[in-house]
Amino acid sequence: MMIMEVEVSSKFKLEKAVCNHGFFMMAPNTWYPSTKTFVRPLRLLNNNTVTDQVKRMLRLSKEDEEAVEAFHKLHSDAADKGFGRLFRNPSLFEDIVKTFLLCASRFEDSLGRAEKLCNLNPERKRGRRKRAQVNFPTAHEVLSFGMNKLERTLGYRCDVIFDLATDVVSGRVDLDRWENSITDGDELYKELIHRKGIGNFVASNILMCIGFYQRVPLDSETTRHIKQVHHHCGVNKVTDEMVKDIYDKYAPFQTLAYWFELLEYYESKVGKLCLLEKADYKKVTGSLIEKRISSSSSSIHICDNLVI
């Protein structure tokens, strides 16, 4: 067993850094609520590589720490509750693939597809006994599966995942440049939005994973949240202008402010995410929460009538 130490601030809490985004629920990430322990396989090239992966997931770099402090100065509620680090995966490639899996899909299905991708990994076939846990595939490994196998396994979004892996392996897409060389989020957004399969939600989510928080990812969950929490129930469509009116006061951390609200909403309905069992992860979506609330309200109403 390799033991390493990673320096963190005195205010750092592991459960707050991990249990705040759907990514932590997706294979091969595993959170144990009873011990508040996070487990997943990493690429063991060298000690520095492992440390870098841990720091990336938990956003422990100097730049991340500065961003958290700056956001807390703008958002006192988030500061009081220690929110400011959105969990991400060890690599940008994994972030992007999982974002594809989340896009326009039931969360339960997204969780299942992430697990299926991990199970395609050749490590699963080594030896007679199955390994307890296999890693998320790299771009090279995705190509090794072949398009036909990927389509049979995933179906949904397999084409854009395979295309991304192809471009990463060939060098047509330089993920390191996206993550470490581009300093203007708007510049990268314009580049991303022209790729097949990348719309506003995917592009904005990629920016969020890199550390550009200005663009709130807009999807059905965002729409539900804006209509319900910010009392825009009468509107047919939530626009970018509405989102900007609500969150631009937190610039350049609009997405962090949005996720803080979303996390608060989820936990007010299903309890602390860090205490949820894996079987309950599929329930953490706004649409299912609202269905349960509606069903519960109807039952209570009937009982009241009976009592009366």
String of DSSP letters for 166-184 = HHHHHTSS-HHHHHHT---
The yes-or-no verdict on residue 65 having pLDDT over 90 is yes
Mean pLDDT of 277-289: 82
Please report the DSSP string for 90-107 in residue order: SSHHHHHHHHHHHTTS-H
Q: How far apart are CA 203 and CA 191, in angstroms?
A: 9
* Strand, helix or coil for residue 241: helix
Give 288's DSSP letter. H
Q: How far apart are CA 24 and CA 85, in angstroms?
A: 13
C-beta separation of 113 from 154 below 8 A: yes
The yes-or-no verdict on residue 293 having pLDDT over 80 is no
Mean pLDDT of 177-199: 95
Q: For 210-229, write each residue's pLDDT tens digit.
A: 999 999 998 888 988 998 88
Q: How far is CA 98 from CA 104, 111, 137, 209, 210, in A?
A: 12, 9, 11, 11, 14
C-beta separation of 139 from 93 below 8 A: yes
C-beta separation of 245 from 230 below 8 A: no
Q: How far apart are CA 97 and CA 65, in angstroms?
A: 26
Q: How confident is the model at residue 138 (pLDDT cuts 50, 70, 90)?
A: very high
Q: How far apart are CA 123 and CA 52, in angstroms?
A: 23
Task: Tell me how many degrees the CA angle 165-100-233 measures, rounded to the nearest 5.
Answer: 160
The yes-or-no verdict on residue 141 having pLDDT over 70 is yes
Q: Which amino acid belongs to residue 196?
A: K
pLDDT at 4: 76
Please report the DSSP string for 107-167 in residue order: HHHHHHHHHHHHHTSGGGGSSSSPPS--PPP-HHHHHHH-HHHHHHHT-TTHHHHHHHHHH
What pTM was estimated for this model as a whole?
A: 0.90
Q: For 84-97, write each residue's pLDDT tens digit.
A: 999 999 999 999 99
Of 91, 83, 76, 63, nearest in space to 19 by CA = 83
What are the residue ranges spanned by the domains of the chain?
Answer: 14-122+133-215+247-287
The yes-or-no verdict on residue 16 having pLDDT over 70 is yes
Q: How confident is the model at residue 63 (pLDDT cuts 50, 70, 90)?
A: very high
Q: How confident is the model at residue 35 (pLDDT cuts 50, 70, 90)?
A: very high
Tokens standing for residue 167: 């471009």
Write the CATH number of the domain with boundaries 14-122+133-215+247-287.
1.10.340.30
